[in-house]
């Protein structure tokens, strides 16, 4: 039965199930919450101990738990996302299971100082582009990227802090594709109060189909090599 459901998921390519954390990831979350509830310090390293189970000891991410690498992101973006989770701007949509999980964890960070501290600690890791997992038509992807995405994310997908558009190159391709789909479908960034998420939500509707989105993400992945 479970296999059938899984198969259906693959065939339909969009089923809400893929967004519900499974048992092992729920356990990791519970552990993290416990660690965080006990820590009150603004010691980034100590706080990060609660993140490592999912995001990896060196911030490299863990695809089995749907947790992205954090080392290829700019610190201002990590900071803003953590605050977005904390305020409920991100991770509140009923279909955003993993977002909700991360929201619960972010809310347990004791205060702003703790957010700052854990981000600074993550910033001390060295960037390491995530491995490629998707195939797509890179040439076609480059065409769409340079016309529609580069204006905010930059020519090499290096991000643009003036526009608060994050770096994409180096971030896990499976994660980027999923986030793109979430923006397109209104699972992330649908709240008008989420200024930057809403911007990206508008852009999520500009690619003609899912195939093109994959091409674009495959192109972004190729920029990291």
Task: Please answer whether residues 187 and 204 qualify as being in contact, where contact means their C-beta atoms are separated by less than 8 angstroms.
Answer: no
> Using the rule CB under 6 A, is 197 a contact of ligand HEC?
yes
* Cβ distance to other proteins smaller for residue 110 or 150: 150
Stretch that binds ligand HEC, among 6-14, 38-46, 130-138, 166-174 (CB under 6 A): 166-174
56 φ/ψ angles, rounded to the nearest 5 degrees: 90, 150
Helix, coil or strand: residue 200: helix
Indicate which of ligand HEC, other proteins, none lies near residue 25 (CB less than 5 to 8 Å, by partner kind).
ligand HEC
> What x-and-dash track marks residues 57-96 binding ligand HEC by CB under 6 A?
--------xxxx-x--x----x-xxx--------------
Residues of this chain, 138-157, that bind other proteins according to CB under 8 A: 140, 143-144, 146-148, 150-152, 154-155
**Which residues have a Cβ under 8 Å from the Cβ of 120 and sit 6 or more positions away?**
44, 75
CA-only gyration radius of the chain, Å: 17
Stretch that binds ligand HEC, among 1-9, 10-18, 130-138, 174-182 (CB under 6 A): 174-182
Task: Please answer whether residues 96 and 19 qualify as being in contact, where contact means their C-beta atoms are separated by less than 8 angstroms.
Answer: yes
**Which residues have a Cβ under 8 Å from the Cβ of 162 and sit 6 or more positions away?**
none
Task: Please answer whether residues 194 and 89 qualify as being in contact, where contact means their C-beta atoms are separated by less than 8 angstroms.
Answer: yes
Of 38, 90, 101, 37, the C-alpha closest to 66 is 101
To the nearest whole angstrom, how small is the minimum distance from the Cβ of residue 83 to ligand HEC? 10
Residue selected from 117, 169, 203, 218 as contacting ligand HEC according to rule CB under 6 A: 203
Of 139, 149, 131, the C-alpha closest to 219 is 139
Of 105, 96, 102, the C-alpha closest to 37 is 105
Stretch that binds ligand HEC, among 3-11, 38-46, 125-133, 159-167 (CB under 6 A): 159-167
Indicate which of other proteins, ligand HEC, none lies near residue 176 (CB less than 5 to 8 Å, by partner kind).
ligand HEC
To the nearest whole angstrom, how small is the minimum distance from the Cβ of residue 169 to other proteins? 14
Stretch that binds ligand HEC, among 3-11, 37-45, 101-109, 130-138 (CB under 6 A): 101-109
């Amino acid at each position: 039965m479970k296999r059938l459901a899984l198969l259906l998921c693959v065939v339909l390519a969009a089923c809400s199930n893929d967004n519900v954390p499974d048992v092992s990831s729920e356990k990791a979350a519970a552990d993290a919450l416990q660690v965080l509830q006990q820590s009150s310090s603004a010691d980034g390293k100590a706080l990060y101990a609660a993140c490592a189970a999912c995001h990896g000891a060196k911030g490299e991410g863990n695809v089995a738990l749907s947790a992205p690498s954090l080392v290829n992101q700019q610190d201002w973006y990590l900071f803003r996302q953590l605050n977005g989770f904390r305020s409920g701007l991100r991770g509140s949509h009923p279909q955003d299971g993993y977002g909700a999980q991360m929201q619960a964890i972010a809310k347990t960070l004791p205060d702003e100082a703790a957010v700052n501290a854990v981000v600074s600690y993550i910033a001390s890791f060295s960037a390491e582009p995530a491995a490629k997992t998707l195939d797509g038509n890179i040439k076609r992807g480059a065409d769409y990227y340079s016309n529609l995405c580069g204006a905010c994310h930059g020519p090499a997908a290096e991000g643009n802090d003036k526009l608060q558009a994050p770096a994409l190159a180096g971030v896990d391709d499976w994660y980027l594709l999923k986030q793109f789909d979430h923006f397109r479908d209104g699972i992330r960034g649908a709240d008008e109060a989420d200024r930057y998420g809403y911007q990206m939500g508008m852009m999520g509707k500009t690619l003609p189909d899912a195939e093109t989105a994959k091409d674009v993400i495959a192109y972004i992945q190729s920029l990291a090599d």
